[in-house]
Amino acid sequence: MTLLWLSKHSPTPSQRAELTRLFGDHELRIDPQPFSDAGDVARRIRRSGASEVVVVAPLAVLRKLLEFGFAPLTADMEQCRPEEAEIQTPGYLQGRHYKFRKFRRLRSITLEYEEIEPRREVQAK
């Protein structure tokens, strides 16, 4: 079985272990190259012949992948204390620290909107 990892970040040891627990023996192909759009990601997935794909991408790209018929895996990460962290992101002072929790399969992305009304003080002018 071939799994494709599409992210500029390599999988952590706990993510690799979880992929093995979920899918057994597999070949993990890592593609860290930047992509131009969802079509580019879809072409890479098809070209790889992978049975499963982990994708780290903006919501708009993930939503388009769903429209193309893909149901990618995503890593559920939890913010944590620095001593528990597997990943640190840059930021103010020490940045943010995260640890991996589990993989989930993306099935849909729903956006909910509401109308914006002018503030009362703006209406009164």
Taking all residues of the chain, what is their mean pLDDT, rounded to a whole number?
Answer: 92
Q: Distance between CA 125 and CA 123 in Å, rounded?
A: 6
Task: Quickly state the pLDDT bin for 80 (edges 50, 70, 90).
Answer: confident
Domain range spanning residue 21?
2-123
Task: Give the pLDDT of residue 87.
Answer: 84
* Beta pairing class for 87-89 and 52-55: unpaired
What integer is the mean pLDDT of 73-94?
Answer: 84
Query: How many domains is the chain partitioned into structurally?
Result: 1
**Which residues fall within 8 angstroms of residue 30, CB to CB, at 6 or more apart?**
5, 7, 10, 11
What integer is the mean pLDDT of 13-42?
Answer: 96
Nearest-5° Cα angle at 1, 23 to 18:
25
